[in-house]
Structures are given as C-alpha cells and as structure tokens.
Amino acid sequence: MLADYCGSSLLLSLPDDIFAIVAQSLTPRDVCYLGLCCRSLYALAASDKVWLTQCDMLGIIPPRDLVEWRNGVSSFQALCRFLISVQPLLGIWVHQNPELGNVVYVMPGFISVVGCRIIPQELGPLGLEDGPILWAPVFEILSDFDGSAVFFLHGREKENDYFYPGSLKAVDRTCNMLLLEAEPRKQRNGGKLVHSKSFVNHLDKELLRQICRSDSGISKSQRVVGQNASIVPFSRLTFGDRRKLLEIVTSQVRLKVPDSANGLLFPRLRGNEDTLRQDIVLLCERRSLLMQMYKLGGDHTDWKVGSEQAPDPTQLDLSEITKSVDHASGFPISLNEDDGRTQCTKRKSLAGYFRDSLKQILRKSSSINGGREISKNCSSSSENKHAQLHEFLRSGDTIGLTLHASTVKLSSYRAWPNMHDSRFALYKLPMQAPTVGQEYAGLWGGTFGWPPGRPTEDKPGKALFLLLLSYEESQGQQLLIATKILEGTHYVLHPNGSAMFIVQIDEPSLDPFPWDTDSDSLPVDVKYAFMGEGIANGYGFRYPGSKPGSLFVIQDELLAFIWKESRSVLTLQRLNLQELLKKGERVPAIPPIANFSYLTKSYSNVFSGFSKHPELSIFTKVCIYQFLD
C-alpha cells in the first residue's frame, strides 16, 4: 500500500492529526521550508494543527492557554512567530543599583509577555503563604494580529499612569542585556512624516542641504552605504545626552492610561473557572484598546492637519528639526531660525518645548565633545569615546523608543555579571535547571529565623530575600553558590550580587541542627548537611567577609543555612515567581526611565515611593550618589 505513495504524496496522504505528530520532529524553520516545496505541501504546512504543535513544543504557555491566545491572532503560525521572537526575554533580569531592587521577571501575559518588578518587601508570620507578593509593571510586549511585536513601557508621572509606545528590535537568541534606547529611523516611503509629533515647526532647507552635502553627487547605492556607515549607535552618546533624549521622547510619545486599560496584565492563578473566564474577557478588551492606542495614538495629541497619512505615536519627526550652525563650534545649537525669513511664534507650544529641550542638550553635547576636541592631541582614545548628538539625530527622519535585546561579552564573579553603571539596561541571570547532582539549582526565597517566618516582638515582619542558587567548579571542588538578587530590609545590609553563602557539596557537615521541631511542632527531618561559609561583616559594604556555617536540607524542600558562631539561620524554599505574581498585588510604577532600570545608587527602597501600602511606609530615606558621566 505504501508503495503507491512516495515523496510529497506520502505526506499528503497522512491525516492531519498524524502529520501534526510527525511535525513534532521538525523545527518551525523546517516547517516553513517544507511549505516551499510545492503548493499542496504549502497548504499542509500552514495548517493550524501543525503550528499548534510547534507552539506547544516551545513550552512557553500551557496548551489550554494557546487556544485562548489564538483568538487574538490570525493563525497559530502568527502566534508561533511571536512566541519565538520573545522567548529569549523570559526569565529574571537584574541591575545592581539600587542595592535593594531592580529585579524584573519577564513572564507570559495574555498574547504578550510582561516585565514585572519585584518590590522589596517584608512577609507576614506565614511567609509567602501570608498575603500576596508586591510587584509593579515595567513593560509589555504584545502580539499584533499578524504576530509582530508591539512594545509599551510603563511609567507614572504626577499621579497619572502612562504608556510609552515603542518598537522591539530583533531579539538575539542568546541575549543577556536588555537596553532601553532612542532610535532614529528613515521613512520607508522616503518622505517626511506629515502626521507626526515634531520637535519644532520650521525646516531650514538651506542648512539641511549643507549638512547633507556629503551625500550629493553620489549614486543611490553609494548613498545608502554611506548612511549605514555613518549611523551613530545610541550607546556612543554621553550619559547625559542619552538620559535627556529618552526623557524628551517619553514625554512626547506618552499615552495616558484609561481606567479600562489599567487592570489585569495576565490571568490570575487558575482556580474558579468562572473567574478565569471573566479575566480572559477583560484581558481581550484591554488588549484591543492597547492595540488601538498604539496605532492611533489616542485622542490627547495635537496632530498636524492636512494629510491622510495615519500618525505613528511611537515616532517623533526629526526631518522637521530646523538646523542652524554655530560657525565657531560647528554644532547645531539654534533650532528656531530660518535666516531671518521666518517669523518666530510667541505662543508657547508643544513644539517649542521640545525645541528648547533639544537645544539645551545639543549645547551640552557640543561643549562636551568640543572640549574633547581641544585635547585631541593629548589622548587619541578620548577622541572617539562619545559621539555628538547632532550626528546621532541626523541619521534618521523620526525617532522613537526601542527595546534592544542584545548579546554582549560579560565577565562575572560568582554567578553575578559585572554591569555598566550608566546604561539604561537590565542583565539576564543565567538560570541553571535542577538536574541529577545539581538538585538545588534555581530560584529560592526565604527569610531569617526559625521556624520559617516566625515573627518576634520587635520585628513583626520578616524581610524577603531572593537568592539564585547555582553550581560552580573551583579547584576540583563543586560549590553551591547562593547569590542575593533582592533584599527586603528597610535598609540594605548586603550588596546585590553578593554570595549569601557558599557550600562545598563534597564535604558533609557533622554539625547538628539546633532545633527539633518546625513551626507546626513536627519533628525536623534533616536529609543532608554540607559545610560552607556565610556572608559576614568584612572590609566594608562592597567587600563582605565570611564565617563558617552549614547548609541543612530539610524535608518539604526547605534549605536552612546556619552560621556556626552566631546561630543565625536563613531558611529558604523554592519559588515559582510566575505563580506568585499571578496571585500577587500590583503597586504603582515609578517614572518611566527610572522604572526600566533605576541608575541611582540607593540603600533604601526607592520603588515604593508611590505605594499606599503601610507595610512599605518605612522605606522613606534615600541615600543617593549621582552618576558622573
């Protein structure tokens, strides 16, 4: 019977369900290649059953949720395209400043992925089971109808919540650095954005020709090559220019969040099916509203009149910036002159605000880079350290927010990456999966004290610690390193990235466990004990010392590290952050740029300033050290 079939005929003869099973051995790329073989295979490879299998194999969301997500996109193939593009973003992202916070967990939302900041906090008497964990939204990446990605940054200004729409660059499969940037772009049709949010009102065509003079007299292909070669990366701008430019862009593209869109970002933890169904309905309505806001820009923006072209709320028009050149410095510092031919308006407009703001940072950029130009003979390396702002802006017609997930070479120390202090960036923590011989790898959370979470008279709550446990080989020994990524004390005691304890897995401990019963008065069953060292006061905050201790593995997947001298105990349990956030409680975000990554060093909780929760009211004092570029 099979002899009558060969090649594509054999595949076409298979029932859809059987072919979907066969397709499990194929990658999404293989399925696309298969569809290019012939017209019949194209229809078979494009079937929803095949791409449902591909979506399920990614393992991002359960199969029952895939059906709900499918209702918001054109096909399972489009959904698979979106899931593949955002899969590398899922996981834990951190920044070392401030010392208490900047832990962002990226998880599936609803036809989206959501970045959630874990708020430093204290736990009640029952630990994580006593009340919800607190979190704040950082960003969302939603899937459009065709599977393309739409980016929204979250932020709060003057007691109002805002969305800040932008774009998502192609995501590296091995990305370890997530950057918030401003990116100039060329218009696809070669023309200007007539419907746009512009910095200024007038265009000095003569000076624009002067700036673009280098492009004249060359072929189109040469001009494209020249433009690509002269593109200035956002990272080459000075820190002050980058910060100010992001502030300008966010203040211009922002969209006020309507009450109907300020609700759920993902379904709550599954329980009552009726509640889940209500959540899905609310999430569908919210997503439709967000997509409409992204494409139309809302109704609070004053658009130009006289064009049928739809506005792009994620982009600002740079082609309408008038350029006047200070002949002494060679930098564009005046943005409202047209050789005296254009009369200046006296009305304080939105464009005027951006004209003044951009003028200020252009002047600052010219003075900084001009100063380096004077000392060019003294140091050849300083000449190219920072780029000039006007060169960056000249590379495009529009500018907008961009989320850039890239792969960079990072050094690390004890599972903690060495980070840049002056980049609006988050760094991905490599997460080891528990395996045979490395059973304790992964994310753990806990508090000080025994029994776990037991309050005292002077301390009704216990600070939540999040620790990333990972294994490392050192001098022929296998070490278990517990890296602190979040601390819920009112004033930070240990720096982010410090090892709370380091255990030698190959050296059993003979020390007895000091307590016989747990919080329920049940006998404590210690399965294993290992020798190690725990963090202690040393040479200073950044260089802590260590003292001997032991790690005890207790029944019900509890870990307890006990310092031998002080008998202090840190108790831990394995965490599922996705489940905790689904039953958690959302608190307001902070202003948009700081909400992405707070670049001010602080030893107290800066993320709870907008919270109304009394348990966070103790975090009020902020110790600030300004970053110098």
Q: Facing residues of 122 across strands? A: 463
pLDDT at 161: 95
Query: Of the ranges 156-160, 301-305, 350-354, which one carries the lowest mean pLDDT score?
Result: 301-305
Tell me the average pLDDT of the chain. 77
The arithmetic mean of pLDDT across residues 216-220, rounded, is 43
Can you list the alpha helix ranges (DSSP code H) found in 36-104? 39-45, 48-58, 63-70, 76-86
SS3 state at 439: coil
In this prediction the pTM is: 0.81
Give mean pLDDT, residues 588-604. 89
Q: Report the run of H or E that residue 559 belongs to, with start and end.
A: strand 558-563
The mean per-residue pLDDT over the stretch 596-624 comes to: 59
94 with 482: CB under 8 angstroms?
no
Q: Which residues contact 546 (CB under 8 A, 6 or more apart)?
A: 502, 533, 534, 535, 536, 538
Q: Let me know: does 298 contact 253? Beta carbons within 8 Å.
A: no
Q: Hey, is 160 helix, strand or coil? A: strand
List alpha helices for 165-311, DSSP H: 205-211, 220-229, 239-253, 273-296
Residue 278 backbone phi and psi in degrees, to 5: -65, -40
- Please tell me the least confidently modeled range out of 130-134, 192-196, 480-484, 594-598: 192-196
List phi, psi (to 5°) of 527.
Answer: -85, -45
Residue 91, strand partner residues: 106
Helix, strand, coil share of the chain (percent; to 5): 30, 25, 45
**Residue scoring higher pLDDT (355 or 228):** 355
Counting DSSP H helices and E strands in the chain, the numbers are 15, 27
CB distance 115 to 135 below 8 Å:
no
Q: What domains appear along the chain, each with residue ranges and CATH number? A: 2-84 (1.20.1280), 187-250+293-401 (no CATH), 433-576 (no CATH)
Please tell me which residue, 38 or 425, carries the higher pLDDT value: 425
Kindly tell me if the per-residue pLDDT of 474 is higher than 90.
no
Q: Which helix (H) or strand (E) segment is 540 a member of?
A: none
Please give the structure tokens belonging to residue 490.
């009112």
Residues in the chain: 629
Residue type, 540: G
CA distances from 240 to 249, 349, 362 (A): 14, 25, 11
Average pLDDT over residues 601-606: 80
469-498 average pLDDT score? 90
Closest CA to 132 of 586, 519, 468, 572: 586
Q: Residue 352: its pLDDT value, please?
A: 57
190-201 pLDDT tens trace: 433 333 344 333
Average pLDDT over residues 464-486: 93
C-alpha of 303 from chain center: 31
Q: Is the dihedral of CA 339, 345, 346, 348 positive or negative?
A: negative
Q: Are the C-beta atoms of 531 and 503 separated by less than 8 Å?
A: yes
